Amino acid sequence: MKNWNHLPSGPIELTIESEAYLELAKDYLSECQYEDAKQALEVAVRSINPQAEYLFGILYQNALGVDRDNEKALFWYLRAADHGYAPAQIAAACLHIDKDNGLTDYAEAYRLLTLAVHKEVTDENAGSLSADFPHVMECFDEDERWMTVQEGYAEYLLGWLHGAGLVGAIDHAKAIGWMEKSAEKGFRAAVFELAQKSEYGIERNEVWAKKALEYGEHAPLIGVARRYLDNVDTPQDCKKGLSILTELADKGIGSAQIALAECLIKGKHTPKDANKALHYLLLAAKMVDAKLMTGLGIALYKSEKPEIDFAIKSLELAVAAGDDQALVELGNLYFDGAGEMTPDQEKAFNYFTQAAKKDVPRGWELVGYCLYEGKGVLKNRCEALRWYEKAAKYGLYNSYYMMGMIYGYDETLFNYEIAVSCFEKAANFGQTDAFVRLGTMHLHGVGTNPPDRQKAFSYFNQAAQADNSLGWEWAAYCHYWGYGTKKNLQKAQQFYHKAAQKGSSHSQYMLGYIYGYDVTPLDFKKAACWFEKAAEQGHRDAQLKLGFYYHQGRGVRQNYKTAFNLFTQAAAQGQASAMYNIGDAYENGYGVEKDEKQAFVWYRKSAELGDKWGMFGAGRLLFYGIGTPPNQEEGRRWINKAAKAGLPEAIKWRPH
């Protein structure tokens, strides 16, 4: 229960009635009878009574028996402040400092704080901040005098205003001056500010970080040590940095033991010493939050030069210390491997399973993933579904997405309606790939009968606005063809560009196609450039188009050999038109030695994959016996197929 009776009489002579009602209000406040307290204060403020005015402000600021109203709170604080009541001056200044209440006025806050610290302070007018500023009181021992509380807090705020540049230019000298006054009174927030803000200088940071030790806070001094070691905002002094860490570690400070162990493991600023490192790790495992040990393990295996053995040891110690999440990290380490350590997905699955059995939600999800993909365990989509359902109920939205993938694409578990429902749940959590899947399902009417192109475009657009690469690509597709929106080549180009910049080879190909075939005037150089980017990523149609550009000298210098190589790359991926072009190159000696037998082989491959030019080429060579024994009947059959496919050259062809 808050004690409101610390508020002594103010310096102004009060009427007996006003003083009596003030004391009555304090009693009501201590018993949380706020409406009764308000009625008593209404009588008390009829005469000049700064404490009652101040308490009225407290009621309105904290919604005690009244609706929260910061403007009314400020009104009453300022009335008390005008009567020289320091707690009210500080309270009003705080309202002016707050950026969220619409009352921000740093200059006025500064004026009020200056009044609070420069007036002669006595026990009689010190007041109590214990009830009004509980966050401030965390910085003090309970037996601190209220005068010290008031003045220290005001000095801290003045230092903060100067340090943040909110009352003119940033002035570190003035900020330090006020902060040190506050810190010398034992105000902890000021101590920590002086200990950690690099702009105040490493030597001052070190002095006050050592003071912070008195409050049981070791992080500031460990931070100072790391800055000495890593040359952060200060000249490097490895000896001093290691000395500080060692002293703290030997005093049993677990976070220092971890930091020192990391230096010894990596040979960072000190010779490697595996035995000493292990000594500190074992000590730390008994002293610190197990999550710190997990963090060290992650840092060791994800670093530029991974320390796998120590990473595993750190994670195992974290597990022993009670952090089940470390089981997931052990699984991740074995799943992906690191440094010279090769992946071991069976072991990874074992760790994920251990985490899952300990009800670690991420463990459920990763067990589901392994079963879904068949990583480290036999593929079992039905079992994967069970784990994903468990993770999804816990709020891991990606599990909803994976459930949608199973119901939407697994041949044995098809249920498009459930897939749509799962994708919708994932989308509601902001999973952008789910927007894309919903878009494709609405576009084709899969699980959503009938198709709805407008809704599809809306989903694609939402994914795009979330900067999802496939979202940009599908939205571009809709703009290009006018699906669910008006056909707009310029927007299609713009959206494909976004996806292309994210590395989408198909979008790079489409930009090449637009520049090479759709825009006016055509820009073959840009087309070739985009085809090349896509071709480098293995996009077979881009390899075909770029090969054609090199063959024709379109947007690039003509080079039959380069064209042939590109056709070969595309053909290796089953691109039928590329196979025809290889046959054409062999027949005519474009970039390769003329070889009519090879020409027929490649024409035939292309024809069998349904390419009409391949049909025509194979038929022509068969009819005339070029590169293959003559077979006019078979030749005519292929040429007729090409004609039926609409190839003008085949339609017009007559034997000669």
Q: State the amino acid at position 146 in one-letter form.
A: W
Helix (H), strand (E) at residue 570:
helix 560-571
User: Percent of the chain at pLDDT above 70?
Assistant: 93
Scored b (16 or more CB within 10 A) or e, 3-22 reads ebeebeebeeebeeebbebb
CA distance 225 to 268: 13
The residue type at 598? Q
Tell me the C-alpha to C-alpha distance, in Å, between residue 590 and each of 542, 560, 567, 584: 20, 5, 12, 8
Are 221 and 195 in contact by the 8 Å Cβ rule? The answer is yes
Q: Which of 480, 544, 477, 525 is nearest to 504 (CA)?
A: 477
Taking only the tens place, the pLDDT of each residue in 399-412 is 999 999 999 998 88
d(CA 52, CA 29): 12
The mean pLDDT of 443-447, rounded to a whole number, is 93
Of the chain, the percentage scoring pLDDT greater than 90 comes to 69
* C-alpha dihedral sign at 303, 304, 306, 307: negative
Least confident range from 44-48, 75-79, 180-184, 597-601: namely: 44-48
Q: Residue 249 has what pLDDT?
A: 87
How far apart (Å, rounded) are the C-alpha atoms in residues 228 and 232?
A: 7
Q: Which two tokens stand for residue 528?
A: 């070739």
Of the candidate ranges 64-78, 274-288, 316-330, the one whose mean pLDDT is the lowest: 274-288
Could you list the beta-strand ranges (E) of 374-513.
Answer: none
Least confident range from 54-68, 301-315, 359-373, 619-633: namely: 301-315
Peptide bond into 235 cis (omega under 30): no
Give how far Cα 298 sits from Cα of 279, 369, 576, Å: 19, 21, 48
pLDDT interval class at 291 (50, 70, 90): confident
- Positive or negative: CA dihedral 546, 547, 550, 552: negative
Cα-based distances in Å from 443 to 67, 435, 449, 464, 499: 51, 12, 10, 16, 20
Q: How far is it, in rounded angstroms, from Cα 606 to Cα 621?
A: 14
Distance CA 532, CA 547 (A): 10
Domains of the chain, each with CATH number or no CATH: 511-614 (1.25.40.10)
Q: What is the pLDDT of residue 9?
A: 46
Output 239-247 pairs: Cβ under 8 A, ≥24 positions apart.
241/269, 242/269, 242/270
Read off the pLDDT of each residue in 53-75 and give the average, rounded to a whole number. Answer: 92
Dihedral of alpha carbons 603, 607, 613, 615, sign: positive
With 0-12 / 13-18 / 19 or more C-beta atoms within 10 angstroms meaning exposed / middle / buried, residue 273 is middle
What rounded mean pLDDT belongs to the chain?
A: 89
Report pLDDT for 286: 77
SS3 276: helix
Residue 338 predicted with pLDDT over 80: yes
Instruction: Decide: 403 and 431 in contact? Cβ < 8 Å.
Output: no
Q: Kindly report, residue by residue over 205-248, the tens digit of the pLDDT.
A: 999 999 999 988 999 999 999 898 888 777 888 888 999 999 99
Q: Is a pLDDT exceeding 60 seen at residue 146?
A: no
Q: Binning pLDDT at 50, 70 and 90, where does residue 149 land?
A: low
Give residue 247's Cα distance to chain centre.
37
CA dist 225 and 208 (Å) reads 13
Tokens of 599: 């020409």
SS (H, E, C) 578-609: HHHHHHHHHHHCCCCCCCHHHHHHHHHHHHHC
Mean pLDDT, rounded, for 377-398:
94
- DSSP letter for 518, please: I
Other CB atoms within a 10 A radius of the CB of residue 425 amount to 18
The whole-number pLDDT of residue 235 equals 83
Q: Please give the pLDDT value at position 301.
A: 86
Within a 10 A sphere around the Cβ of 647, how many other Cβ atoms?
Answer: 18
User: How many secondary structure helices (H) and strands (E) does the chain include?
Assistant: 37, 0
Contact 509, 525 (CB under 8 A): no
| Model confidence at 596: pLDDT above 80 | yes
Question: Tell me: the pLDDT tens digits for 125-140?
Answer: 334 433 343 433 333 3
Alpha-carbon 420 to chain mean position: 26
* 3-state DSSP assignment of residue 418: helix
Instruction: Confirm if 163 and 132 have CB atoms less than 8 A apart.
Output: no
Q: Tell me the H-state helices in 50-120.
A: 50-62, 70-82, 86-97, 106-118
b (16+ CB within 10 A) / e for 582-600? bbbbbbeebbbeebbebbb
Whether residue 450 has a cis bond before it, omega within 30° of 0? yes
On whether the CB atoms of residues 622 and 634 are closer than 8 A, the answer is: yes
**Interval 9-57: pLDDT, tens:** 445 556 788 889 988 989 998 899 999 999 999 998 888 889 999 999 9
DSSP letter string, 103-147: ---HHHHHHHHHHHHHS---HHHH---TTT-HHHHTTS-TTS-HH
Give the residue from 622, 610, 605, 598 showing the smallest Cα distance to 647: 610
Structure-token match 């490697």, residue found: 272
pLDDT for the residue numbered 119: 59
Summarize pLDDT for 471-508 with one digit per residue, the tens: 999 999 999 999 999 999 999 999 999 999 999 999 99
φ, ψ for residue 211 (rounded to 5)?
Answer: -65, -35
- The CA distances from residue 591 to 462, 558, 626, in Å, are 47, 11, 20
Mind listing the pLDDT tens digit for each residue in 76-128? 999 999 988 889 999 999 999 988 888 999 999 999 999 988 754 433 333 44
* 512 band by pLDDT with thresholds 50, 70 and 90: very high
The mean pLDDT value for 436-460 works out to 95
Task: Check residue 277 and give its pLDDT.
Answer: 84
SS3 341: strand
